[in-house]
Amino acid sequence: MKLISGGVCAAKGFKASGLHCGIRKDKTKKDLSLIYSEKICNGAAVYTTNLVKGAPLIVTKQHLRDKKAQAIICNSGNANTCNADGVEIAKKMSQYLSSEIGIDENDVLVASTGVIGQPLDIKPIKEAIPELCDKLSENGGSDAALGIMTTDTVKKEIALEFEIGEKVCHIGGIAKGSGMIHPDMATMLVFITTDIAISGDMLQKALSSDIKNTFNMLSIDGDTSTNDMVVVLANGLAENAEIVTEGKDFDVFMKALNTVNVALCKMIASDGEGATKMLECVVEGAKTEEIAKKVAKSVVCSSLLKAAMFGSDANWGRVLCAIGYSKADVDIDKIDVKFKSKSGEILVCENGAGVDFSEEKAKKILLEDEIEILVDLKDGDYSSNAWGCDLTYDYVKINGDYRT
């Protein structure tokens, strides 16, 4: 399994494009993206659990009922959420694209991201679709990644090459996510493509299983978005024997999918709104996996800890505090905590109590832009990882005037 270039176009038969159509005021920023497969795909998706859902999610869920899709169209700059005509607009996006590119409108998935509660004008999207289709390219993955960004400061894409049954296979993904990230059964916007042959049921099983340990363990600010979704399309052009049951081939695909998803999680955490540091909480020694997850997620979600990490303050008491209110079944008197980065590692808490440590060394460790918070519960064999970022002044600045 090796890293390659190409993003969502790394898999055989996939093309993508992205352009500025006029939704966003800044003409230098792309705001409309397209991912297209030359062959119809088996598809799977997970969606936000927020009761308020963007209209595109409703349409996409309808179109994926048969677990088939061939294209994804996504706009940024407007979430198309809480609009009276939202579903109608989302359906028009699929209709206009299907008419232009020559596929069934039910095989078009729709996504939107941006401001909630603002009407979405279909005109600039309709007028841009012909050019969007003309620009489709095997080198268009980066343009598509740029077109789905909102407050993101960097594009997020990855691709891998691996083998299944002596067939060379590929998987690639792009993501957007910087704020309003605290997923539950979904996350941000993530689009993944692969050329493996796998049934729709097994593709859904793989995705639903993996997000429990990847995107569901990611939090930037504790807010679950209205438009979160993860979509995977598999067109079978790698020509491996179709995966229809669990087994060796399914395990290989799961490893590839997990590698992509973990990488995208880290990219999103690193690019949290106003963030200067990526945080990863690694929990070991839990009695159950569920306990490990609760503890890891509680730590990365702590606003007080996130603020301390921004200030490079080794305030380990905030780690213990977050564990204490996680409602996880742990023995506080056993817990060890360490801080780690490329500048070193330091023990700050042992058996639930503070230890003498060098504040100077701790400061040096916490000044790095990637910090690991290592928690050992010393109570079992289960572990979990969660990702987040520090909480900075700029987070408030960004969200203080996000709409205006």
Read off the pLDDT of residues 338-395 as tens digits, 9 standing for 90 and up: 999 999 999 999 999 999 999 999 999 999 999 999 999 999 999 999 999 888 888 7
The H or E element spanning position 15 is: strand 14-19
- pLDDT category of residue 185 using cuts at 50, 70 and 90: very low
Active site residues: 187
Handedness of CA 267, 269, 274, 276 (dihedral sign): negative
Residues 115 and 198 reside in one and the same domain? yes
**Which residues have CB under 8 Å from 134's CB, separation 6+?**
none
Boundaries of domain holding 140: 2-269
Q: How far apart are CA 362 and CA 366, in angstroms?
A: 6
- H helices within 141-288, ranges in order? 141-147, 200-210, 248-270
pLDDT of residue 220: 65
Q: Which of 234, 269, 304 is the last residue of a domain?
A: 269
CA distances for 337 relative to 98, 288, 309, angstroms = 54, 19, 14
Going by the DSSP 8-state scheme, the letter that residue 29 receives in this structure is: S
CATH classification of the domain holding 71: 3.60.70.12
- pLDDT category of residue 187 using cuts at 50, 70 and 90: very low
Given a cut of 70, whether residue 179 has pLDDT beyond it is no
Residues 170 and 146 reside in one and the same domain? yes
Comparing 396 with 296, which gets the higher pLDDT?
A: 296
Residues 16 and 140 reside in one and the same domain? yes
Q: How far apart are CA 91 and CA 99, in angstroms?
A: 12
Mean pLDDT, all residues of the chain: 93
Residues 288 and 381 reside in one and the same domain? yes
Residues 148 and 14 reside in one and the same domain? yes
Q: In what order do the strands lie in the sheet with 278-286?
A: 353-354, 344-350, 336-341, 370-376, 278-286, 382-389
Lowest mean per-residue pLDDT among 100-104, 175-179, 298-302, 365-369: 175-179
CA nearest neighbour of 210 among 139, 262, 165: 262
pTM higher than 0.85 = yes
